[in-house]
Amino acid sequence: MADRPAVKPHDWIKVEGVPCVVAVVRGPPELSDDIEVVFNPKTPANVDVKWTGEAWAFSRPGDLGGYADRYPRLSAYVHTLKAGPYAR
């Protein structure tokens, strides 16, 4: 089992093959929902993800997430998401 990779807000990660922007990092790594991400530039959504010991995974499979673009606290991360992973 590998340690959770170090991530910070605005980092790009892949969760089950889906490109996501890290919005919130929680600690310690033993928490069930390690971080909150935003994904899907056309209809931005926010969900919690966890480190499985091998890869990032959605905490609640099938959860389509919240409407990230409706939350002011997530607006900077939605902007990063819409700019794309190579805009920085």
- The boundaries of the domain holding residue 33 are 12-83
12 has a pLDDT exceeding 90: yes
Mean pLDDT over residues 74-78, rounded?
A: 97
75 belongs to a structural domain: yes
Residue 85 has pLDDT above 90, yes or no: no
What is the signed CA dihedral for 61, 66, 67, 71, rounded to 10 degrees? Answer: -140
Q: What is the pLDDT of residue 30?
A: 56
**Domain count for the chain:** 1
Structural domain contains residue 1: no
Q: Does residue 51 fall inside a structural domain?
A: yes
The per-residue pLDDT for range 27-75, each reduced to its tens digit, is 765 555 689 999 999 999 999 999 998 999 998 877 778 899 999 999 9
Confidence of residue 24 (pLDDT cuts 50, 70, 90): very high
Residue 52 is assigned to a structural domain of this protein: yes
Q: Give CA–CA dist 51/44, Å, rounded.
A: 22
> Could you tell me which residues are beta bridge partners of residue 51?
56
